[in-house]
Structure 1
Amino acid sequence: MSSKEIIKIISFLYEESTGEKQEKLLAEKVKKLSQTKIGKELGVKETSSIQELPLTSYPFYKKFFENPSEDAFLYPLNQYIQVITSGTVGKSKPYLVYRGFYGDQAMVETLVSTMILSTHDGEKINFRPGDVCYVNVAPAPYGAGVGLELLKRLGGSLFKMVPEDFNLPFHAKVEYFIKNYEKIDLAYMPVATLLDTIYPRIGKPFKLKGYVSQDRAADPLKNKIKEITGVFPTSLYASTETGLAAVPSVEYPTGFIFSWKIMYVEFIPEENALTEEFEKVENVETVSLQKVEPGKRYQPVVTPFKWDLTRYVMPDLLECVSKNDKILNVSLPVFKFYARADKIISLQNFTRISENELLTALEKAKVPFIDFTVRVEIHGTKEYLVMYIEPSQSVDIDEIQKNIHKELYETDNDYRSLTDFLKYVPLKVQLLPQGAFKRYLERRGGIPKIERIGMREDRFKELLQS
């Protein structure tokens, strides 16, 4: 693929006056939205600015999704498809998604750009037309499966997606990779699947042009991933609510850059993050994409241009790591996933420990693990961070508990203050039997994920019984 062809595909990242173009797209949406039931309940008028509207969450839209009417939505009802979330946090939620949102040209550009940029080695792009891209996501009616089916038909001429049957069960897709890995150029799958199932089965490193994962373990394990695949992992931002909304950063592995053509994004500063579900809320200060600051964390608020969700508060915390990507020469902010907004461990109101911190502590403590989940439990009068770990080999529980505590104590100021002030070790480790997470995931629907923080009580009991 020539440099000119590549630049043409990713040219939207370099367009000028994107703010003005977004304002035009917003005005078009607001005008249409003002004529719908959803818009009227939000108080939308034809001339409303986006900042005049309330922030929204899933409960506001729930009644429209469950009992849809023709006058409620932006587009005719026969152009909507039902999509459900995987239910990683809380129960699965049904959505009605405009078919043209997932199949929009802007979304196709983002998908193709993600594939291309995932092969950038820091010096050049290694993507070639016809490259084979392995994808292991949940099939329809889950959002990832619905979106990829549409995008495959629209953007698949440049690359081949495998397995061709998206409806294969998760384990069958894993077997497909193991049997065909030498023919695969790019891959999208969970980190745990790559490191703990595929790599041991293949038994040796193998070469990929690009590896993409939304798994939070990708960042702390990026060096191990490169040892196995020859490439650093890349990441993106995708969800039922946003579709595929960002492309990978090259300068910052596992960082991503929002596509300005898909949605308007605002940001709530971390200290004001909304962690409880609500229908509508007003008078919450947000920061524009242009005004985010590196080193600060934010909760995104999204308004897709071609779907009904408006000022929808996402349950994530993102960290801005840079105002640009110098390798790509792109002057748009780069973000990394930090944590779920409601997935941060607070002990005795001292700590704010994220999943990434725990993953890093495990890696530095050299704990051999398949996966883990953590809970805050009260023992006596004190709160403890209890880690339920499935080790990948025989371990001394006291030794790994000591090592994890040491890493958290040295790297987390609040954890150290809690330990010193209350004079106790606020960490406990419990070992799970071999195969516990594998058995648990095989029984789950949707995209197989481990809720490493905040696992629902019924699912936690199911894990313990696995």
Structure 2
Amino acid sequence: MKLSEKLKKRKYDEIWQEYCGFLDLDMDSYMLIQNRLMLEQVRLWSNSELGKSILGSKNPQTIEEFRSQIPLTTYNDYADLLLQKKNDILPEPPIVWIETTWEGGQHPVKVAPYTKGMLDTYRNNLISALIICTATERGVFDVKPTDKVLYGFAPLPYLTGLIPPSLNDAIGFEFLPPVKEAVKLSFSERNKKGFKLGLSKGIDFFFGMGSVAYYISQSVTSLGNGSSTGSQKSILNYSPLTILRIIRARIRCKKEGRSLKPKDLFRLKGFVCAGTDNDCYKDDLEDLWGIRPTELFAGTEPTCVGTETWNKNGLYFFPDACFYEFIPEQEMNKSLDDEEYQPYTVLMNEVVPGEKYELVISVFKGGAFVRYRVGDVYRCLGLSSREDHTNIPRFRYIDRIPTVIDIAGFTRITENSISKVIELSGLPVEDWVAAKEFSDKKRPFLHLYVEIVPETLMTQAIGKEILREHLEVYFKYVDNDYRDLKRILGIEPLEITIVRCGTFKEYQRKTGRKMRRVNPARYDISELLAVQNECHVTYRGGII
């Protein structure tokens, strides 16, 4: 029986138990599910050409052998085979191939195969998040087959493109605008069409990346600006009842001395946000919509693997999506500094509250990836929760691993990509480090600390604005997603600080160590800036 039929028959307890019953598990029951599904996956994966390419002659039979015999993997271990999209090399034949950005400037895309079992699990876990995001307490939720969903997703072949067909298969929501129409529209056109339909039909759910959801939400405020002729004319395109609703909302906002917000026009039942940097936008989104977003964790390689509850106090990982391992922070840093070092991992029943971990996943149901380093870092918040009445660990998403700078879920900037940008630009850069930082308004940006070749400073006037203009041209050329940060989200992603000549060498002489190029520790950057005051490079009789 489909979810829509169960909802019509008001089988709410049965629905909750089917989709949200994992919250009732204790740690032993959770690990039983993990181990059973992992053993099934090991057998499938080990017998495939893909598995044998990594295993060689090894043949693990137990979870312990699996963890000791199979090394931790990255996409480099799969690329040669997966990018060919050959179905016969996989543990199970895929139904669809999902695509995402790999690394700007070096590799254009990654692809991941999704089997029928994976798609079924993805759908069920997506529904779990959907139900939970409307819940006020355990077992109390508000989902109807007639609900309207604002279409804020990237279409297939991206992972979010699976959301409409997955939900339609189970419940038949109405998407605004309709999916067949939405995929043909530009980002801006889709937003305008979605809000116009929402004003006449209502919006019950909003799914989207935190950064994109924030940008989409800003377009609603234009309805509150009655001063412009264009704004006045646009309102005339709506029905009389909609116009009356807009006018009433404007009057109310004017009395309160504030601009119009989406919450003045819509009453969301559920708001789900995914992607990175959601913490930068959650407070603003709650203020705009009157409901705090529920965070969902999903990714191209791991599928849909975690959700917050109604209390929004941490993510819980679904036990049937992946087998989870965690690299402790200290081990992660060792392996990032030494590529030959193999860090040890702990399992879900071994994590420690307060500690940060890099996530490692093995995808169930015939998935391609095993012991795969996703590149995401989480902090364990606790092993249980009185508020949620749970007895399994919960986590908070921190960010990508230190060697990757992800801005608002759009970019994956690495040392390689920055080096290529600088090389292509031809700019006289002597040395540099890059860090992800945040503005006073909690917006992420890429901060590049640059030292210029001494000879150039004596012959050319090179300032940070010139550097930024030149480098942004090549960032956009190397990384299409970087270009979208400004084009779609209106974000200025690059800030540049020029340090004195000789600063990097003086830092290394004084500290005895070379700073990590990408996301060095904050104290390292502070010391770098302090050291530059002691640098005096003489060139042709002048100090620079």
Q: Structures share a fold, TM > 0.5?
A: yes
The 5-angstrom pairing of residues 31-430 of structure 1 reads 31-43=43-55, 44-45=58-59, 47-49=61-63, 50-52=66-68, 53-67=70-84, 69=86, 71-76=88-93, 79-87=94-102, 91-104=107-120, 106-121=121-136, 125-130=140-145, 131-145=147-161, 147-157=162-172, 159-165=173-179, 166-168=182-184, 169-182=186-199, 183-196=202-215, 197-203=218-224, 204-205=260-261, 206=263, 207-252=267-312, 255-273=314-332, 275=336, 283-306=342-365, 307-341=367-401, 342-343=403-404, 355=436, 358-359=437-438, 361-363=439-441, 372-378=445-451
User: Cα–Cα, structure 1 residues 152 and 6, in superposed 2: closer, same or farther, change >3 Å?
Assistant: closer
**In structure 2, C-alpha distance between the alignment counterparts of 1:216 and 1:29, rounded to whole Å:** 29
Contact 1:134–1:188 (CA<8 Å) still a contact in 2?
yes
Larger radius of gyration: 2
**In structure 1, C-alpha distance between the alignment counterparts of 2:84 and 2:288, rounded to whole Å:** 49
**In structure 1, C-alpha distance between the alignment counterparts of 2:192 and 2:528, rounded to whole Å:** 46
**In structure 2, C-alpha distance between the alignment counterparts of 1:120 and 1:135, rounded to whole Å:** 22
Shift of 1:224: 2.4
The count of aligned residue pairs is: 390
Shift of 1:330: 2.2
Shift of 1:277: 12
Percent identity, aligned pairs only?
Answer: 21
**In the TM superposition, what whole-angstrom CA distance separates every residue of 1:229-286 from its partner, at most 9, and x where no partner exists?**
1111221111110111112233335x421101111010112233255998xx784201
Shift of 1:191: 3.6
Q: Which SS does the other structure have where 2:316 is aligned?
A: strand
**In structure 1, C-alpha distance between the alignment counterparts of 2:389 and 2:342, rounded to whole Å:** 36
User: Cα–Cα, structure 1 residues 222 and 71, in superposed 2: closer, same or farther, change >3 Å?
Assistant: closer
51-60 or 83-92, larger mean C-alpha shift: 83-92
**In the TM superposition, what whole-angstrom CA distance separates every residue of 1:319-367 from its partner, at most 9, and x where no partner exists?**
2223234333222222222121123699xxxx996x5xx34x5227xxx
**In the TM superposition, what whole-angstrom CA distance separates every residue of 1:287-315 from its partner, at most 9, and x where no partner exists?**
11122223221111100111121111111
The one-letter amino acid paired with 2:404 is K
Contact 1:84–1:95 (CA<8 Å) still a contact in 2?
yes
Q: Which has the higher helix share?
A: 2
Q: Which SS does the other structure have where 1:93 is aligned?
A: strand
Contact 2:149–2:204 (CA<8 Å) still a contact in 1?
yes
**In structure 2, C-alpha distance between the alignment counterparts of 1:88 and 1:325, rounded to whole Å:** 38
The one-letter amino acid paired with 1:22 is Q
Gaps of 5+ in 1: 398-411, 425-466
1:11 aligns with 2:25: no
Contact 1:352–1:414 (CA<8 Å) still a contact in 2?
no
**In structure 1, C-alpha distance between the alignment counterparts of 2:188 and 2:292, rounded to whole Å:** 24
Q: Which SS does the other structure have where 2:271 is aligned?
A: strand
Shift of 1:61: 1.1
Q: Which SS does the other structure have where 1:326 is aligned?
A: coil
1:24 aligns with 2:43: no
Contact 2:118–2:364 (CA<8 Å) still a contact in 1?
no
Shift of 1:34: 2.0
Q: Which SS does the other structure have where 1:12 is aligned?
A: helix
**In structure 2, C-alpha distance between the alignment counterparts of 1:292 and 1:198, rounded to whole Å:** 42
The one-letter amino acid paired with 2:441 is E
Gaps of 5+ in 2: 1-9, 225-259, 406-413, 416-432, 455-463, 473-484, 496-521, 535-544
Shift of 1:201: 2.6
The one-letter amino acid paired with 2:450 is E
Contact 2:150–2:198 (CA<8 Å) still a contact in 1?
no
**In structure 1, C-alpha distance between the alignment counterparts of 2:54 and 2:135, rounded to whole Å:** 43
- The aligned counterpart of 1:461 is none
**In structure 1, C-alpha distance between the alignment counterparts of 2:293 and 2:25, rounded to whole Å:** 27
**In structure 2, C-alpha distance between the alignment counterparts of 1:303 and 1:128, rounded to whole Å:** 32
User: Cα–Cα, structure 1 residues 95 and 416, in superposed 2: closer, same or farther, change >3 Å?
Assistant: closer
The one-letter amino acid paired with 2:114 is Y
**In structure 2, C-alpha distance between the alignment counterparts of 1:227 and 1:218, rounded to whole Å:** 14
User: Cα–Cα, structure 1 residues 195 and 15, in superposed 2: closer, same or farther, change >3 Å?
Assistant: closer
Segments ≥4 residues shifted beyond 4 Å: 68-71, 87-90, 121-126, 274-278, 386-393, 412-424
Contact 1:185–1:210 (CA<8 Å) still a contact in 2?
yes
**In structure 1, C-alpha distance between the alignment counterparts of 2:190 and 2:392, rounded to whole Å:** 35
The one-letter amino acid paired with 1:134 is L
Give the TM-score, by structure 2 length.
Answer: 0.62
Give the TM-score, by structure 1 length.
Answer: 0.71
